[in-house]
Structure 1
Amino acid sequence: MVHELNYQSGVVAVNESPVEILPHAVRVRAAAVSVIVAAAALLVLREAKAFVVPVLTSVLCAYALEPAVAMFRRWGVPRPFAAIIIYMLLAVTAIGAAQAARTRVTRFVDTLPTLIAEFRASATPDAGDAPGPLDQLQQTAKTIQQTAADHAPPAAPGVRRVTVVEPRFDVRAYLTSASVGLARLSVQLVAIAVMTFLLLVTGDVCRQKLVTIAGPRQADKAITLKVINSIDRQIERYLIVRVLICGIVAVATGVPIALMGVDNAAVLGLLAGVLNVVPFIGPATGIVMVTLATYLQFKTIAITAAAGGAAVVVAVLEGNFVTPLLMSRAGELNTVAVFVSVLVFGWLWDVWGLLLAVPIMVAVKAAADHVESLKPIGELLGR
């Protein structure tokens, strides 16, 4: 605002002219506000992990079980009884699967101490053998550390050197911490089970509430209903495709290593399929498990490379051909968006974030495609 003073007849006149605000200044201010809001939202999500994670997981589980509830509803079964029947079927299936896998898993767990001892023995050569790569690395590290200590400047007069002693491993403290973590996980799982049951029982009540509060205009209600239906379809397709991909990975990993004679091939294949749920990190972990188990059993490079190579081939084919082909109509997310979302949500909620990252982005993409102001976000996330 510009003030002009005119001294005429002893009267001071102030002429005001409007201040011109440049467009780039407005954009910078809006961008700064957006960054602050995004940072605050991330902080809130990180601190609210104990509340947000069970809620989102329950919603995802409800989406996964909704087709079964709909099937019972078509048969005339009320929603509460349909949800109870589904929970009973899940319990029976889990118990049956646990009993079927009990022998293999128990045998695999029983052989772990022996496998670990053999691995330590193979890593530590005998007195008459030449030092292995691991021993050479350890000796090099000791030499560098000793050289640094020898060339360290002398202590100043009156200053006493202090050596930091690392605390010894406390088994009792570790078991206590593990027990607390297990109890916390159990509480979260119970909360997820109860909340999922309530979502299945209530059915379309939440959807009707969202449509009601969308706004007084019929257009707002129609857009809200369209967004909800789109999210429903995309999440259901994603879950179906993800289960199918995990089954393909489990079979494609377990069969080749079983033909090679690897023990517990079925367990390793099942673990590889389950770990495939976690993008990027899961397949890498499965490859390491297969390779390590094969090496500990045969202790030969050829078979180890063959088993590890088979797991790598399965992971590469799954990541570059199977998943893009099946996910083209399920999630429609590009690889960069998936990778960044896994990093962000993994930082926010650890393992839970790795599991929830892709479903959350699928829902965001589905909503952004139907809201005019959010379509740039949908374009950014899409293929």
Structure 2
Amino acid sequence: MITLLSSWYKERFSDPQAVTLLLILLGVFFVLYFAAGILAPLIVALVLAFLLDWPVTQMERIGINRPTGASVVLFMFVGLMLMIVLGIVPSVWRQGGALVTELPNMLDKGLMFTNDLAVKYPEYISTDQINELIGELKALANTEHLLDFVKQLIGYSASVLALMVYSILVPLMVFFFLKDKATLLSGSKRFFPSNRQLAGKVWAEMNQQIFNYIRGKVIELFVVGIATYIFFVLMDLQYAALLGVLTGLSVLIPFLGATLVTLPIMLVAFFQWGISPEFGYLMLGYGVIQALDGNLLVPLLFSDAVDLHPVIIIAAVLVFGGLWGVWGVFFAIPLASLVKAVLNAWPQRELVA
């Protein structure tokens, strides 16, 4: 056993650069795992600076100095975010509150429908079972309980202090990250070992993939969300803005997101129209949008960014989502790609028998 472990260690860790790469990865992991909450504004600013660096670099290539380019890009980005927040969030918030208030009435309607089924098909389900189940659901869906749950879900992250930190410090840090990119990168190199060529090779491989993935996800979110919202408005579906936003956000969770958001869409449509042609048309159109997203938009956006088996993607969503919540879910595929790149680049020494 000792010989086997010794051989494995020599094969995997005989290269000093491999050890350096491992130490860098472990250091970043422990910092994110134990200090993610404290460093959240810094992490958000780094992600935004990473995304906004491309247009700043393009402006620099055409002769615009970096501070001016960073100011213009950041100003446009903040303006776009303000338009989204002021134009969409109030409507989504109102529709979300209305949906929470309407849930008890929806459950009453569902109770009547299931009671009718029990009368027609008593051999499959009894009225007592349905009443007991609906009673428990109504208790869980009580408005006060839902509001308490929402408050717990939001927690302190929506406090005025946290919002002030994010709204002031994050744009400020993004500006300095963009403006002083070369200086900051040069200064940070002294905190890493000198034999980091392997780590640089892995980062060079991942850099463009991560950018392509994040850019593609943002485009997919907006395209799917807007297309779904327009379709729901044309169908005159209630809570169209709320459900459209949820559908757009669902693309952040590969494979599982569409499944999770389909249930509320189906329930709202059912309680609005019942089993009717409108219900069928809505679900058919929604299915077409999901099919176009999965078979046309995703291959077009991510053909060069994602080369992972679906099982690995789902496992990555579960693992990294459990570690870092929403951010872990959003970056699950880039992190899985990083793990794959490290395994592919890891040096191996051929052992002589």
Aligned letter for 2:4? H
- Show CA shifts across 1:280-337 (max 9, x none): 3322233223223322322335433442343344334433554245322023333222
Match of 1:160 in 2: none
In structure 2, the partner of 1:290 is 265
Q: Indicate the residue corresponding to 1:24 in structure 2.
A: 4
**Structure 1 CA distance for aligned equivalents of residues 188 and 77 of structure 2:** 30
Which one-letter code corresponds to 1:202 in the other structure?
A: D
**CA deviation profile, 1:248-267 (whole Å, cap 9, x unmatched):** 32244334444433245455
Question: Given the alignment of the two structures, is residue 84 of structure 1 paired with residue 64 of structure 2, yes or no?
Answer: no
Which protein has greater RCO, CA pairs closer than 8 Å, 6+ apart?
A: 2
> How many angstroms apart in 2 are the aligned matches of 1:319 and 1:118?
35
Residue 353 of structure 1 deviates from its aligned partner by 1.5
1:50 maps to what in 2? 37
Partner residue, 2:129: 137
The alignment status of 1:327 with 2:296, answered yes or no, reads: no
Q: Which residue of 283, 299, 304 corresponds with 2:274? A: 299
User: Which residue, out of 231, 247, 261, partners 1:272?
Assistant: 247
Quick check: 1:281 aligned with 2:256?
yes
Contact 1:287/1:308, CA 8 A, preserved across alignment = no
With normalisation by structure 1, the TM-score equals 0.65
Q: Compared with structure 1, are the counterparts of its residues 134 and 255 closer, same or farther at alpha carbon in structure 2 (3 Å cutoff)? A: farther
- Pairing of 1:1-383 with structure 2 (within 5 A): 23-26=3-6, 45-51=32-38, 54-101=41-88, 104-105=91-92, 108-109=95-96, 111-112=98-99, 115-125=102-112, 136-137=128-129, 178=154, 180-183=156-159, 186=163, 189-190=166-167, 192-209=170-187, 226-265=201-240, 267-319=242-294, 322-366=297-341, 371-373=345-347
Rounded Cα–Cα distance in structure 2 between residues aligned with 1:177 and 1:101: 21
Instruction: Quote the RMSD (CA, aligned, Å).
Output: 4.5
What code does the residue aligned with 2:163 have?
Answer: S
Task: Describe the superposition over 1:64-123 as per-residue Cα deviations: whole angstroms up to 9, x where unpaired.
Answer: 111121233235443334333333222322233344436754663564356324303213
- Cα deviation, 1:111-166, whole Å, max 9, x if unaligned, reads 4356324303213439x978687964355679xxxxxxxxxxxxxxxxxxxxxxxx
Query: What is the letter of the counterpart of residue 54 of structure 2?
Result: P
What amino acid is the match of 2:214?
Answer: L
TM-score by length of 2: 0.69
Gaps spanning 5+ residues in structure 2: where?
14-18, 120-124, 135-143, 349-353
- What whole-Å deviation, never above 9, does each CA across 1:181-205 have from its counterpart, x for those lacking one? 4238537735554443332222133
Structure 1 gap ranges (5+): 1-20, 143-167, 375-383
8 Å Cα contact 2:225-2:247 kept in structure 1: yes
The residue aligned with 1:156 is none
CA distance in 1: counterparts of 2:231 and 2:283, whole angstroms: 10
The structure with the largest alpha-carbon Rg is: 1
**Number of aligned residue pairs:** 321
Contact 2:49-2:174 within 8 A present in 1 as well: yes
The aligned amino acid for 1:199 is: F
- The 1-side partners of 2:220 and 2:281 are apart by 23
Structure with greater helix percent:
2
User: In the alignment, is the contact (CA less than 8 A) between 1:124 and 1:135 conserved in 2?
Assistant: no
Secondary structure at the counterpart of residue 230 of structure 1? helix
Deviation at 1:45, TM superposition (A): 5.0
Correspondence for 1:18: none
